[in-house]
């Protein structure tokens, strides 16, 4: 239970005081109870259908600029810890603007919990709102699209609603917005942490077979862990790193990470680099924003989605295996398959709405997917993609040796 709700219980039969609001750009005001940080923030409201993983979601840099509404009503019941954070920096915010939940947050009930979700949100500067009908908000988003909005938390319940309405209406939205600078690393670093094991925790890669340069557009920690677990020494570089700087690191492969915002906006500086690298036939693997910008680099286009894909229960067809995977999704933009060039083959497609979820190039060792294989909702349906990347690097390496 939040501190605001604790205070309201002492008022006896008095009507509870609204301590948080979500003000949509069309002027709609949704009232509830505040949790987390105090203040206000503007962003795009989306909904996420995952039943677990709220800490990973709220620290996923791909959510920068967004207010996440959870459709599952009981968020916070397992608390938080310092091991499930997805941002590179344990202390930094992922860029998420706020979160909306239905039920009051209960005390954590999990042996790994170190903090209550309310305290954790405060520490990371994330504003929360509880006590609203999240099903109604979700239906609204499905019918009318993802709205711009301001989320505000004030323990005294005093809000300047006209000012909040104006702020929400004036915010330009994510289309055309480059949010990568707020989440990318400031300097190059190496990564060797491998995946979690209940007996030992996270491990270390001590005998890598390949060197991968990961371009950080907002990379998640578990992506880097799976690369390391697959036998890679990983060097993470900032989003603005030039092709020459990447080539100087002599990579066996290049990874294009996930990230937030409009791929076309970030692509202004990222696409020329990606094009140079794939034209040199360096093995390349992209996820999410990396997938979208790879598509831009080969001449395709991206489009803004109506409600986006956010959840851990999305069925995707892999045409390379003729199998259906259950995957994790988090994106508000998509690759327009009708604009793909002839040398790009569609490898994955969403079975929810038919949107493109993967491509591979016929003439270069390059592929990408829209979904998040590292998130393990299947639980390991999509881990083969990391093995596919390693096999691709091995094949290119052997070809060079024979040549």
Based on the number of CB atoms within 10 Å of its own CB, is 302 exposed (0-12), middle (13-18) or buried (19 or more)? buried
Total H helices, total E strands in the chain: 10, 19
Which residues of the chain carry a pLDDT beneath 70?
1-15, 90-92, 403
Q: Are 276 and 242 in contact (CB under 8 A)?
A: no
Concerning whether 288 is annotated as a catalytic residue, the answer is yes
pLDDT tens, residue by residue, 291-329: 999 999 999 999 999 999 999 999 999 999 999 999 999
352/239 Cα distance (integer angstroms): 31
Q: Check residue 89 and give its pLDDT.
A: 74
Distance of alpha carbon 246 from its chain centroid, rounded?
A: 24
Considering 153, 288, 331, 348, which one is annotated as catalytic? Answer: 288
Q: Check residue 14 and give its pLDDT.
A: 60
Concerning whether 143 is annotated as a catalytic residue, the answer is no
Tell me if the pTM is above 0.85.
yes
pLDDT tens, residue by residue, 118-128: 999 999 999 99
262/293 Cα distance (integer angstroms): 10
Considering 40, 44, 55, 374, which one is annotated as catalytic? Answer: 374
Concerning whether 232 is annotated as a catalytic residue, the answer is no
Q: Quickly name the fold that domain 180-402 has.
A: Rossmann fold (3.40.50)
Q: Which of 281, 259, 267 is nearest to 403 (CA)?
A: 281
Distance of alpha carbon 296 from its chain centroid, rounded?
A: 19
Domain 3-170 in CATH 3.30.497.10? The answer is no
Matching CATH topology for 3-170 and 180-402?
A: no
> Regarding beta strands 366-369 and 356-361, do their DSSP bridges make them parallel or antiparallel, or are they unpaired?
antiparallel
Q: Check residue 91 and give its pLDDT.
A: 63
Q: Which of 236, 233, 235, 232 is nearest to 217 (CA)?
A: 236
CA distances from 107 to 76, 132, 248 (A): 8, 19, 51
User: Could you state, in order of their start, the residue ranges of all structural domains in the chain?
Assistant: 3-170, 180-402
């Amino acid at each position: 239970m939040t501190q605001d709700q604790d205070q309201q219980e002492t008022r006896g039969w008095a009507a509870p005081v609204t301590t948080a609001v979500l003000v949509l750009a069309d002027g709609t005001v949704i009232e509830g109870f505040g949790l987390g940080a105090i203040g206000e923030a503007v962003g795009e409201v989306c909904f996420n259908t995952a039943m677990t993983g709220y800490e990973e979601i709220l620290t996923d840099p791909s959510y920068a600029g967004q207010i996440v509404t959870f459709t599952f009503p009981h968020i916070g019941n397992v608390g938080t810890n310092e091991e499930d954070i997805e941002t590179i920096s344990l202390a930094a915010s992922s860029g998420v603007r706020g979160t909306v939940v239905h039920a009051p947050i209960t005390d954590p009930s999990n042996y790994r919990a170190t903090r209550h979700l309310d305290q954790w949100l405060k520490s990371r500067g994330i504003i929360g709102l509880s006590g609203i009908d999240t099903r109604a908000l979700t239906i609204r988003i499905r019918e009318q699209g993802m709205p711009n909005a301001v989320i505000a938390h004030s323990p005294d319940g005093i809000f300047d609603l006209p000012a909040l309405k104006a702020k929400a209406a004036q915010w330009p939205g994510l289309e055309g917005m480059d949010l990568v600078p707020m989440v990318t690393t400031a300097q190059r670093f190496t990564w060797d942490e491998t995946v979690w094991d209940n007996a030992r925790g996270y491990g270390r890669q001590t005998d890598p077979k390949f060197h991968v340069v990961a371009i950080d557009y907002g990379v998640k920690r578990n992506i880097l862990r799976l690369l390391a677990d697959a036998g890679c020494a990983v060097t993470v570089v900032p989003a603005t790193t030039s092709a020459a700087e990447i080539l100087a690191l002599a990579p066996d492969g290049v990874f294009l990470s996930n990230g937030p915002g409009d791929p076309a906006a970030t692509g202004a500086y990222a696409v020329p680099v990606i094009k140079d690298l794939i034209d040199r036939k360096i093995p390349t693997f992209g996820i999410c924003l990396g997938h979208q910008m790879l598509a831009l680099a080969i001449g395709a286009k991206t489009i803004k989605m109506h409600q986006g894909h956010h959840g851990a229960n999305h069925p995707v067809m892999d045409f390379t295996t003729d199998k259906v995977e259950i995957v994790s999704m988090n994106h508000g933009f998509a690759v327009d398959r009708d604009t793909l060039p002839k040398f790009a083959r569609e490898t994955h497609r969403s079975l929810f709405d038919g949107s493109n979820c993967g491509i591979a190039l016929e003439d270069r060792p390059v592929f990408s997917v829209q979904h998040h294989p590292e998130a393990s909702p299947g639980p390991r349906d999509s881990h083969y993609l990391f093995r596919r990347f390693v096999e691709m690097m091995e094949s290119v390496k052997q070809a060079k040796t024979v040549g």
